[in-house]
Amino acid sequence: METMVNSEKAAILNRSFANRVDWMAVGRSAGWWLLSGLLTNLIMLASGCGGGGSPSSPQQGLAPAPPATQINSYIGTTGDIWNTKINRTYDQVNGEDTTLHGIQLAGAIIGSFSTVNEYLDINLTTVPSQLTGQTIGFALEMPGQAALIRYGNLFHLLVPLAPTNGCTAIGGTVTYNYVTIPGPSSPPSWLPSTDSTYGTFQVETSGNNWNFSNITQLTLNGVSPTNPGTGLPAGFCGQGTNGYAVTAASNATNPPVATVTMGFGPTGFFLEDNGSAQATPVGVVPSNALGAGVGAIGGIQPSSALNTQSVAGLQYLGFYYEPGILGGGAVTQLASFGCSGSNCPTPPSSTAMVGGVFPNTGGTSPVDEPSQPAAQNVTIDLGVQDPNNNGLYPAATITVSGVSLPAAAVVVTMQNSYTIFLIAKDTVNNVPLAIYLFQR
């Protein structure tokens, strides 16, 4: 590993594994990326990421999604619950960590944004105490469907976001796939060999009442968790301080189990906060009904098996996320995967894609540079699709600068786009690694 460290030429000195970039390879591909960026900016829809034209039909069990609006509200989790509003009419972002601040003015985050290579490049003008000195942020949005946002520079946490504009209408019994969302705790709150890593569950609704059944949980090794969940209580979809969300409160008392908060998007996205930051009552523990860490992320299981080669052959933008990394390592970096042309490295298999993180300016206050070519030192290989669960890839791998890491992934179709949610164990830094990608 000493040789790898000495050869690191990332923009900042940190131990984030993904920043071990082959800058010569980046240079060779720069021409393609510049041309790609120009073409993308010419054809990109103003409504945000997605729309590549791969999946076609509405998700099974969902009504046709309403048209995206210019102003959309979201709920998210880092362990703490967040709310965010993205206003594309005035190019503004508002957010707050409501676990920490409630709905107090002192917790407000306010910023404006411009669009750079499909990312929302955020200029923060008002921040709470935990973001003192922070002036930047980045987000990706599929308006009204799902979003990812980072308030602050790359040393800050990623907040996955589910829409809260209304309660999603579900017909019949619908199956969802999920993977765990890792948290920032040290030691890690997700242990891949013993804790829930991926699984499935089913949902039925009657009005605003939600019922959950047939929950499966598996570790990264594909076996049952050491401490499996005992089921998810019935939920209710209603409007609260964070907008419309589904909450499921447990009646367990020994010990008391935290309330689960979930967001279900109108095109199939799913997000769970497992109550890991809930402070009351005394002795409360996070729910382990679905994901470990701080919750779960995923979406509706496709009605038929995906063409994995087609999924891997597309282009994606997203975030490379290592919460809990120590020693000044980057926590949340912008990332790109998939390209085409003679200057692109050849993936090792037909189910793999190559990419990496975007560079940054370095220093103590690094600024991401998504207008520059991304590295190409990370390979995601989805591997074999679970024959019993479409869109679930339990034996995926991530290879970073030649080191392979075991992973699990779910691929979700939302309208005309794929999204990929992946979790792995970074065995070099001994922290969880998550990669979340939206199709370009």
214: phi then psi, degrees, rounded to nearest 5: 50, 45
The string of DSSP codes covering 294-322 is TEEEEEEPPSS---HHHHHTS-EEEEEE-
pLDDT tens for the 440 residues of the chain, in order: 333 333 333 333 334 444 443 333 333 333 333 333 333 333 333 446 765 444 445 577 898 888 889 999 999 999 999 999 999 999 999 999 999 998 888 899 999 999 999 999 999 999 999 999 999 999 999 999 999 999 999 999 999 999 999 999 999 999 999 999 999 987 888 999 999 999 999 999 999 999 999 999 999 999 999 999 989 999 999 999 889 999 999 999 999 999 999 999 999 999 999 999 999 999 999 999 999 999 999 999 999 999 999 999 999 999 999 998 887 889 999 999 997 667 788 999 999 999 999 999 998 889 999 999 999 999 999 999 999 999 999 999 999 999 999 999 999 999 889 999 999 999 998 899 999 999 99
Cα angle value 370/53/46 (rounded, 5°): 50
379: phi then psi, degrees, rounded to nearest 5: -120, 125
Q: Which amino acid is at 198?
A: Y
CA distances (Å), 400 to each of 342, 346, 354, 403, in order? 22, 15, 10, 5
Domain limits, the chain: 2-45+313-439
In 50-145, the DSSP E strands lie at 71-77, 81-87, 92-97, 109-116, 119-126, 136-142
Nearest partner of 352 among 374, 342, 337, judged by Cα: 337
Residues 172-202 as b/e (b if ≥16 CB within 10 A, e otherwise) read eebbbbbbbbbbbeeebbbbbebbbbbbbbb
Cβ neighbours of residue 364 under 8 Å, at least 6 residues apart?
A: none
Q: What is the pTM of this model?
A: 0.89
What local confidence, expressed as pLDDT, does residue 368 receive?
97
